[in-house]
Amino acid sequence: MTKKVVVVEKILSTNDRIAAENRSIFDEAGIYALNLMASPGAGKTSLIEHTVKRLIPQINLAVIDGDIASNIDADRAEKAGALAIQINTGGECHLDANMVNNALGQLNLTGIKLVIIENVGNLVCPASFQLGTHKSVLIASIPEGDDKPYKYPGMYRGVDALVINKIDLLPYVPFDMAYFRKGVEILNPGLITFPLSCRTGEGLESWIDWIYQCTLSKNL
Amino acid sequence: MTKKVVVVEKILSTNDRIAAENRSIFDEAGIYALNLMASPGAGKTSLIEHTVKRLIPQINLAVIDGDIASNIDADRAEKAGALAIQINTGGECHLDANMVNNALGQLNLTGIKLVIIENVGNLVCPASFQLGTHKSVLIASIPEGDDKPYKYPGMYRGVDALVINKIDLLPYVPFDMAYFRKGVEILNPGLITFPLSCRTGEGLESWIDWIYQCTLSKNL
């Protein structure tokens, strides 16, 4: 087990080095970069579709889509109007900095102001791998239940913003918002949250404003 | 990377050896064992609650609950009437055979006929770790979306039964059942499925019958 720990530590420090390299690529190009994480099916791709449609043409953006298999997500981001590239991890349960580095090498970043990286659907492993982005965003989803902060603290602890998606389902599922928010507040005091519904569009404006301001701040 | 691969292979072969040991423990005690896997919030604990309530007292069962943190799930299983033990993986994104082996050492298995192991909420990593159970069951959840078999093939490929939970939400979310089932059929032809709702109780009978028959078959 000790050997395992040493190897894992080595992988993580290599990852941090490449993440720093990615950050330099973003900074030199004047690009703001987001790492978007969530469980499978929480709405990462739907949120990206809305974001792309509302930000273009003011902000040109690129999407890097991570999945175990398939091109479904990159196809959806591209259809919405973004420059998109799919990373198939082939079994790996998270994106790492090297995968993102390879994807950046294949993208023409000219004119791009915002890069959204859609991580693999997973509420555990992505939290351990820095990608070099400026901010990490987690999407929680109402039908996942209100106990997720308590059960997956690592993910809630490390993010800079929290989208609470599928609020249109609140009438149909048991979800105690106060209990949920209490768990979030313990792990990540003062975390900015965006309750919204990608299905109905409710609450999307605040999210779009935030990401727009973040991107602008990079280019002042 | 080669070193990483060698270490990972070694971990997996050690895991298989301990999984075989777990299987012997189950078999010698006349216990039927299930590995229950799903995304976070798909309804593993709710399904276990219903299963415990309906099977007891005909079948005494124990629940081994895996989570990154908290005792929420084991408390729920215990409250429903099961003998329950919580494994906190402390960051590991899946259960492995050794964690289950340790839990089995702490449980009094006298009179127990069925052990349900609730894996960590994760649609990727648990598929790679045999636990020594007789069957693996995956829960899909309607609000996760109909594309999950295509995006997480490893998990769908390796299971013996599929519960499709939260069918009560079908009127409120976009979900093409034919597209979903086509993906499942490609990966796992003829897979037995149980569409149901833990919230309304619809469809639960078939699931309970199946697990009851599985358990009885072990004790003939």
Q: A102-132 pLDDT, tens per residue?
A: 999 999 999 999 999 999 999 999 999 999 9
Is B173–A199 a contact, with Cβ atoms under 8 angstroms apart?
yes
Looking at residue A197, its amino acid is S
Q: What is the pLDDT of residue A1?
A: 43
Runs of H (alpha helix) within chain A: 2-28, 44-55, 72-80, 97-106, 148-151, 153-157, 177-187, 204-218
Domains and CATH numbers, chain B: 13-218 (3.40.50.300)
Q: What is the pLDDT of residue A90?
A: 83
User: For residue B4, is pLDDT > 70?
Assistant: no
pLDDT in tens, B107-145: 999 999 999 999 999 999 999 999 999 999 999 999 999
Identify which has the larger pLDDT, A43 or A7: A43
Q: What is the pLDDT of residue B90?
A: 83
Mapping DSSP to helix (H, G, I), strand (E, B) and coil, where does residue A65 land?
A: strand
- ipTM computed for the complex: 0.90
DSSP state letter for B82:
-
User: For residue A12, is pLDDT > 80?
Assistant: no
User: For residue A39, is pLDDT > 50?
Assistant: yes
Q: How far is B212 from chain A (nearest CA, A)?
A: 28
User: For residue B219, is pLDDT > 60?
Assistant: yes
Q: Tell me the two tokens of residue A109.
A: 């970043």
Q: What is the pLDDT of residue B49?
A: 97
Q: Any residues with CB less than 8 A from the CB of B92 and at least 6 apart, and which?
A: B68, B99, B120
CB atoms within 10 A of CB A176: 11
Q: What is the pLDDT of residue A4?
A: 58
User: For residue A3, is pLDDT > 70?
Assistant: no
Is residue B12 within 8 angstroms of chain A, CB to CB?
no
Q: Any residues with CB less than 8 A from the CB of B27 and at least 6 apart, and which?
A: none
pLDDT in tens, B29-74: 999 999 999 999 999 999 999 999 999 989 999 999 999 999 999 9
Q: How far is A220 from chain B (nearest CA, A)?
A: 39
Report the mean per-residue pLDDT for chain A. Answer: 94
Mapping DSSP to helix (H, G, I), strand (E, B) and coil, where does residue B202 land?
A: coil
Q: What is the DSSP string of B135-199?
A: EEEEEEEGGG-TTHHHH-HHHHHT-SEEEEE-GGGGGGS---HHHHHHHHHHHSTT-EEEE--TT
CA–CA separation, B80 and B58 (whole Å): 15
Residues 92 to 131 of A: which have CB under 8 A from any B CB? 93, 120-125, 128
Chain B partners within 8 Å of A182 (Cβ): none
Q: Answer whether 0.80 is exceeded by the pTM.
A: yes
